[in-house]
Structures are given as C-alpha cells and as structure tokens.
Amino acid sequence: MAEINHAVKGTGDILPKEAYKIQFVEKQMMETARLYGFREIRVPVFEHTEVFSRNVGDTTDVVQKEMYTFEDKGGRSITLRPELTAGVVRSSIEHGIIYDALPQKVCYIGGCYRYEKPQAGRLREFHQFGIECFGASSPAADAEVISVANQILHSVGIEKISLEINSIGCPTCRKEYQKALTEYFSAHSQELCETCNDRLGRNPMRILDCKSPVCSKIAEKAPTVLDFLCEDCKEHFEGVKKHLDAMGLNYSINPHIVRGLDYYTRTVFEFVSGDIGSQSTVCGGGRYDGLVAQMGGNQTPALGFAIGIERLLLLLKNQETPIPADKTCDLYIAPMGESASVYSSKLCSILRNDGFEVQTDICGRGLKAQMKYADKINAKFSIVLGDNELENGKCNLKNMSTGNITEISLDNLSDELLTAINKSALDDLNESLGI
C-alpha cells in the first residue's frame, strides 16, 4: 500500500516550484532551434519494438539491457522509446517528410525510458530535447548542427563546457577498423566482461562504449578509428573542422567517442562537463546517413543530436547558473462578503482577459487569512473589496513589497494596475543601478 504514495524508482515528479526552470530551458531550446529553421515534431511514446531493436543496434546496452518492452493486448511487441531519433525517422518516412524539399529540419522535446541504475543525472524516465536534419550530406551541415547545440547551451547560461568531436567513418572504412579491433580485443578476451565477449564477434566497436572499469581500461589502448578512415571520410572530417574553425567554435578531437547507438556514421560529437560527476556528457549526436534507408526509406543523409534535460538542469545547478525567477501573481483581490465575492469574480475575468495573473478568495476565508495567502503566493499587489469600495467605485491598491498604497478606480482597474506594475519594475531597476 505504501508504494501507491511513492514514485516508481528511477522516476521523479516535477513540482510547481521547479517547473518554471524546465519551462525556461525548453523555451530557450525551441527558440534557438527556430533560428536555424527547425520546427517541432511530436511522435508517440511507444513504437513497435523493431523500430529500436533493428535500428538502434542489437549489441548496444540500450537494446540488450535497458528497453522497456511488453506485449500489448493485440499480441504485438511494444517498446517505450529509449530515444527519439528512430521514432522521428519512422514518422518522417511514413508521412513523406523526407520526400519534401530538402533539407528537412525538425526538433522535439519528449520523455524517454531506459531500465538502468538511477543516479545523479541519469533516470529511468528522462527527457530529451533534440533535432534531426534530413537531406544534407555536406560538412557544413555537421558544423551547423553542432553550432545549434552550442548556441542552445550558451543560451541557458552554461559557460564551462567542452566540445569533443570524432569521425567513426563509413561502413566501408569501418570494416578494416573492426578487424583491427577484433584482433586487439581478442588478445584480452579473458579479461573482458561477458557482454563484451559477445560483442567481440558481432560488433567490437561497442566494447569501446562499455561502462565496465576493466573493459574501459583495456579500450584505452585500442586502435583508434581515425587511423582507418577512407579518403572520403577524411576529407569530410577535415571539412567539418574547417567550418567549426570559421564559426569560432573551440573543440578537441576525442578518438574514443563512438556514441552508444549503432546507427551513427562519420561525424560524432559530445558536449561534456566536469561539473556533473561521472555523467559528463550533456549533449551528444552525430551523422547517421544509413538509418533512413535501413528503415525502409530512400537513401537520405541525416544527422542530429539530443540534450538530456535533467542532466542539463543538474549542470545549471552545479555551476550556480541563475535562472530567471518564475512569474508571480500580479494582483490578489480580497473580497469581504457575498456581493464583493461576486464582483471580484467579474474583475478577475476582465483582468485575466487583459493578460494579468490574478487570484481571489475561493475558500471563504477572512481578511487576515486572505492576506497571509497573498504573501505566500508573492502577489505583487492586492486590493480589498468591501461594501464601501463597491459603493464608491474606488479601492486602495497596495504594493505588497513596499507597503505603498494608491487609491484607484475600479472601473479603470486594468490600466491602473498596468501603470503600477510598470512603475514598480522601474523603481526596482533604478534601485539595482543605484539611481
């Protein structure tokens, strides 16, 4: 019975006192993406299991260990999405987005689900912002996508973060690299974990992404993919670096980045920070030129990234980055008596239609209790409505922070309230400037 009153392990509630922070971050993300021409897409929380098992990669931790998969009442295997790219590609094929004028640019915010050990910055239900760009194969597209991520991170106030890039080549040059990896890791097969020994014969690159300390240590001295790139992939990677240099984006080359999903090709990148513990990656992405065709569409170059919103908020907290305060109630109307309560409802309706956040008593409390409530909700102003105020058509507007009182007309309350709010904001600004 006690479990009814507790969230499931690995999930968390977003309370009203914290929700404004997420709203701020999401707004900045969407507005920045729009500057680059990205428009929102929304896809279902669950898909047919094959959308992920066949395309994310059956040797990845996500598919092998972390997916929430179940059989629905129709006997179909369904999986809660562990990431959004595969679902967005499925939607883009189904609805013909990739057959429209290219490039097609989409962005999204949504929940994802992975069964893994909950820890700081890593939950079983988490949320991602991401973008996907279809139909652009040039290095300029890679640099632009990286630039979107960089601008988003800076738009929310993050300064101490590093960009790391790599190229994992195309299927052609990757064959030689996988041979070299197989030879290297085979010499250490007795030390590798059971999962990595299974990967050794199927996809040795996945060993580079293993979280086991032993496997990670062995992987440090493994051959690097950059030594095996074909001429086309080398040229593409050099082009990406030239565009990043032209944009003034600082980066370092990390040959160990492979990303945790199998569909990536060529450019991969991560934005990392040392201020969120072991979960250092805040944003990750790259190019996945074969995924659209693999899922049944035409051969279409594509790339994108995802930002973990919970991890981003943790980084903002740890870096003590200020987030704009939540908007509070503009006016609290305290009615005294039945007639005043009815008239208060009328005033609230008028003011809300004019864009003000207004509250009034709906609990039948006395004046003292109402004013306590106005304090608790941080109302900027308050008025008391009684028989005298209704008869005279005037009331006293009280500035809750200064205590200053101004007599105003009830018939002109909207204009008078706007004037008072603007004056209060100007006084606060002058005070902060020492004027």
- The span from the CA of 262 to the CA of 281, in Å, is 18
- On whether both 137 and 256 belong to a single domain, the answer is yes
Burial letters for 394-425: b for 16+ Cβ neighbours within 10 Å, e otherwise? ebebbbbeeeeeeebebeebeebbeebbeebe
**In the chain, what is the straight-line distance between the N-terminal and C-terminal CA atoms, in Å?**
60
Which range (115-119, 219-223, 309-313, 334-338) has the least confidence?
A: 115-119
Number of neighbours of residue 51 by Cβ within 10 angstroms: 18
133 and 61 in a common domain: yes
Distance CA 306, CA 114 (A): 15
Structural domain includes residue 211:
no
Residue 202's nearest CA partner among 151, 262, 152, 251 is 262
Q: Are residues 50 and 94 in the same domain?
A: yes
Q: Assign residue 374 the CATH number of its domain.
A: 3.40.50.800
Q: 29 and 86: one domain? A: yes
Tell me whether residue 220 is in a domain.
no
Whether 161 is in a domain gets the answer yes
Kindly state whether residue 218 falls inside one of the protein's structural domains.
no
CB 190 within 8 A of CB 202: no
pLDDT tens track for 305-363 = 999 999 999 999 988 889 988 889 999 999 999 999 999 999 999 999 999 999 999 99
What gap in Å lies between CA 142 and CA 268, rounded to an integer?
9
Sheet holding 405-409, edge to edge: 358-360, 331-335, 381-385, 394-399, 405-409
* Per-residue confidence band for 1, with pLDDT thresholds at 50, 70 and 90: low
- Place 121 in a pLDDT band, splitting at 50, 70 and 90: low
* 240 & 384 share domain: no
Examine residue 179 and state whether it is found in any structural domain, yes or no.
Answer: no
Q: Is 191 part of any domain?
A: no
Say yes or no: 129 and 39 in one domain.
yes
Q: Are 163 and 150 in contact (CB under 8 A)?
A: yes
Q: Which residues lie closer than 8 Å to 351 by C-beta, 6 or more apart?
A: 330, 331, 358, 413, 414, 417
Q: How far apart are CA 20 and CA 357, in angstroms?
A: 15
Q: Do 66 and 144 fall into the same domain?
A: yes
pLDDT tens readout for residues 400-410? 999 999 999 99
CATH number at 89 reads 3.30.930.10
- What mean pLDDT comes out for the span 192-205? 83
CA 304, CA 283: separation in Å to the nearest integer?
A: 11
Predicted model pTM: 0.87
Contact indicator for 153, 270 with CB cutoff of 8 Å? no
pLDDT attached to residue 423: 81
Provide the greatest CA pair distance for the chain.
93
Q: Please check whether residues 389 and 366 belong to one and the same domain.
A: yes
Is residue 47 over pLDDT 60?
yes
Question: Quick one: 368 and 297 in the same domain?
Answer: no
pLDDT in tens, 81-114: 999 999 999 999 999 999 999 999 999 999 999 9
Mean pLDDT of 218-244: 92
- Tally of domains within the chain: 2
CB 384 within 8 A of CB 367: yes
| Domain finish residue from 318, 345, 377 | 318
Residue 99 makes CB contacts below 8 A (sequence gap 6+) with 298
Instruction: Give pLDDT, residue 185.
Output: 87
Statement to judge: residues 308 and 382 lie in one domain: no
Are both 11 and 52 inside the same structural domain? Answer: yes
Mapped onto helix, strand or coil, the DSSP state of residue 195 is: helix
Residue 433 lies in a domain: no
- Residue 118: asked if its preceding bond is cis (omega within 30°), the reply is no
**Sorting pLDDT into bands at 50, 70 and 90, what band is 59?**
low
Which residue is it, tokens 């709906």?
A: 362
- pLDDT of residue 134 exceeding 70: yes
Q: How many angstroms from the chain centroid is the CA of residue 187?
A: 41
Do 283 and 409 lie in one domain? The reply is no
**Does residue 206 register a pLDDT over 90?**
no
**Those residues with Cβ within 8 angstroms of residue 157's Cβ, 6 or more apart along the chain or in another chain:** 316, 321, 322, 323
d(CA 271, CA 284): 6
Question: Which domain does 36 fall in, by range?
Answer: 7-170+230-318
Beta bridge partners of 270: 164, 284
| Last-in-domain residue among 318, 347, 378 | 318
Q: Rounded CA gap, 258 and 341, in Å?
A: 64
User: Phi, psi at residue 423, to the nearest 5°?
Assistant: -65, -40
Interatomic CA distance for residues 121 and 277, integer angstroms: 9
Encoded amino acid at 97, one letter: I
- What pLDDT is attached to residue 295? 92
Characterize 147-166 residue by residue with b for buried, 16 or more Cβ atoms within 10 angstroms of its Cβ, and e for exposed. bbbbbbbeebbbeebebbbb
Is 325 among the domain residues?
A: no
DSSP reduced 3-state for 398: strand
